């Protein structure tokens, strides 16, 4: 791909990914607020303003990985929404609901994008491609975040089903979660077959539900 083509692709993907990440984090904060935790609201995070959700290093990593890989791969993140679980009547159940809110929002966005693809795929090739990208981004984000390892959202969902004593130990693993997640990330890059057999398999299955799949 030429430099100009890569830049155009980056300019298309970046705002779509930004919208997906912002709504993901906003969903966490909104559910926490509804459950009695005002922390996200007090920090100004119950907003669609992307500047409130951007993480500097996450944004830099997105640009570096996308442009550095020639558009074959990208990796980035938004600023996590602050949550204070002791505001919940049941912190364990509260964190489960808050954790599930982000991935479910991504899956809902993928569902909306998929519906729009069915409605408009004969109108414009550019529009169809943009919606396909939005669909894929949200399937990937939702699926990755449901992996049950701390600090990903899947660990909160899994924690909601654990006995109280086990849950108390489980949340202590959050301090190691970033190392585990980065290790998983490195494995998926070094061994693409791992990605193909997991996230890639989910993406392939969902694409088969769309026109041309």
Active site residues: 25
| Measured distance CA(199)–CA(206) in Å, rounded | 11
| Measured distance CA(138)–CA(60) in Å, rounded | 20
- Integer angstrom CA distances of residue 58 from 18, 38, 55, 184, 188: 11, 25, 5, 17, 18
Give the Cα-Cα-Cα angle 175, 176, 180 (nearest 5 degrees): 145
- Integer angstrom CA distances of residue 63 from 51, 88, 129: 17, 37, 21
Residue environment code for 131-146, b if the CB has 16+ CB neighbours within 10 A, otherwise e: bbbbbbbbbbbbbbbb
Longest Cα–Cα distance of the chain, Å, equals 56
């Amino acid at each position: 791909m030429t430099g100009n083509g890569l830049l155009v692709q980056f300019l298309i993907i970046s705002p779509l990914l930004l919208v997906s990440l912002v709504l993901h984090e906003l969903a966490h904060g909104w559910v926490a607020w509804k459950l009695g935790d005002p922390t996200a609201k007090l920090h100004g995070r119950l907003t669609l303003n992307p500047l409130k959700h951007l993480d500097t290093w996450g944004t830099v990593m997105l640009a570096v990985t996308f442009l550095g890989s020639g558009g074959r791969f990208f990796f980035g993140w938004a600023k996590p929404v602050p949550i204070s679980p002791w505001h919940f009547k049941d912190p364990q159940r509260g964190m489960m609901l808050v954790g599930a809110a982000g991935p479910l929002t991504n899956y809902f966005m993928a569902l909306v994008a998929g519906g729009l693809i069915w409605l408009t795929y004969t109108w414009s090739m550019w529009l169809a491609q943009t919606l396909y990208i939005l669909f894929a981004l949200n399937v990937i984000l939702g699926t990755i975040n449901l992996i049950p390892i701390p600090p990903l959202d899947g660990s909160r969902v899994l924690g909601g089903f654990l006995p109280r004593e086990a849950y108390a130990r489980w949340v202590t693993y959050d301090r190691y979660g970033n190392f585990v997640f980065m290790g998983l990330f490195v494995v998926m890059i070094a061994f693409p077959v791992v990605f193909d057999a997991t996230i890639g398999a989910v993406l392939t299955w969902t694409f088969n539900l769309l026109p041309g799949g």
